[in-house]
Amino acid sequence: MTGRIKICSATFTPSDIRGAKILHFFLLQNIQLKNYISICSAAVAVAGYAIFVAYLHDFLQMKYYLISGEASGDVHGANLMKSLKKLDAEADFRFWGGDRMQNEGGVLVKHYRDLAFMGFVEVLLNLSTVLRNIAFCKDDLLRYQPDVLVLIDYPGFNLRIAEFAHQHGIKVAYYISPQIWAWKKNRVFTIKKYVDKMLVILPFETEFYERYDFKVHFVGHPLLDAIHNEPIINKETFFIKHSLSDQPVIALLPGSRKQEVNKMLSEMLRVIPFYPDHQFIIAGVDTLPDEVYNSFADGKKVKVVFNDTHNLLRAAQAALVTSGTATLETALLGVPEVVCYKGNPVSYQIARRIVDVKYISLVNLIMDREVVKELIQSDLNTKNLRKELDLLLYDAEYRAKLKTDYTELVGKLGSLGASDRAAQLIIKMVLTN
């Protein structure tokens, strides 16, 4: 073959991507190209072989299959899709995720609310459903034949799909590494074997993977972009919008799964009588039925605000937050917080024996020291919650120290543009490998 392909070093346009796919098709068919072809001017190829275009529409579209199984992954998946569309305006998406990913276009295969089983015991009780979902996903993946499979955290499910995709010649990108540095470190060997590109969002993950001789790419944390780019309303407007009083707010973030919401609110709401000069506002998600929250709010001095968590936090004086991504969101918004966790006793005892981390919150893990207080299992009780809330609300020195620590935390997470950098790396992987 006399043709020569030049890869643009920075930004790919939609025509670049279509041209690259046309060239790839012709190469597979052993068609000899007599011209020098640059992907940056792929119109030459399109013009030369226009007769094929009508038959290659599906081929010409870059097809992305994304899998996210949780609410936080839905947020990050949506931002990634947005960034991919900047580079590939005709991108075709098929995905497992939620409402935010669906808003970016494409086909939602399954919603994460039907996938989110939390804890060892809960997964075992729903094992048949999990296995059916895995089998369905494999069949769906083969029917769709994507250019790339993009996995977002959710390792128990996604690593099985990664192996299957690799065996069938589908390129695999993993965006947001599973927390294998905390437990199941042996999964790193599965990742090395079946994942073509790992994109990490926590600074210490690069060093972890280096110990196993696996190169990963730190793209920064996408929450920085999500918070920076979202519309903001001031406290007064927020109070009016949600019909709140002018009392100081204590935000309650109980999670996004029904089982954890029930368990966490049962503990959090017990402190209400001790803070009569504050209003307690629950951050609700519309993926759960209203009655999940109403059963707790009925007759108590508490209200529920749906799908406005960041503005709720901006209006809050302090927050009680269930362990998870929300602990990092709360810190990035500068809100003093107590991290809360209480799970199934059997699941918790199993986790204690196999999880190898000093902390459960992302804030403390990233800082590698205790910045925010963690109340876990039996420590999550009314007495301890009152003690910690009093510090957050009334101890000026404690609040000032938290603010300083939060500033340091932001500095460790990299710069804005995580989703854009991830999109560029994914497209470059597809075009050049």
Q: How many CA atoms lie within 13 A of 296 on its CB side?
A: 26
Superfamily assignment of 227-412 in CATH? Glycogen Phosphorylase B; (3.40.50.2000)
The pLDDT value given to residue 312: 98
23-38 pLDDT, tens digit each: 554 444 444 444 444 4
**Residue 53 or residue 144, greater confidence:** 144
316-369 pLDDT, tens digit each: 999 999 998 899 999 999 999 999 999 877 766 766 666 767 899 999 999 999
For domain 62-220+417-432, say whether CATH 3.40.50.2020 is its number. no
Task: For residue 263, count other CB atoms closer than 10 A to its CB.
Answer: 21
Residue 193 buriedness (CB in 10 A; 0-12 / 13-18 / 19+): exposed
226-281 pLDDT, tens digit each: 899 888 999 999 999 999 999 999 999 999 888 899 999 999 999 999 999 999 99
| Domain 62-220+417-432 matches domain 227-412 at the CATH topology level | yes
Domain map of the chain by residue range? 14-58, 62-220+417-432, 227-412
Task: Flag whether the pTM goes above 0.85.
Answer: no
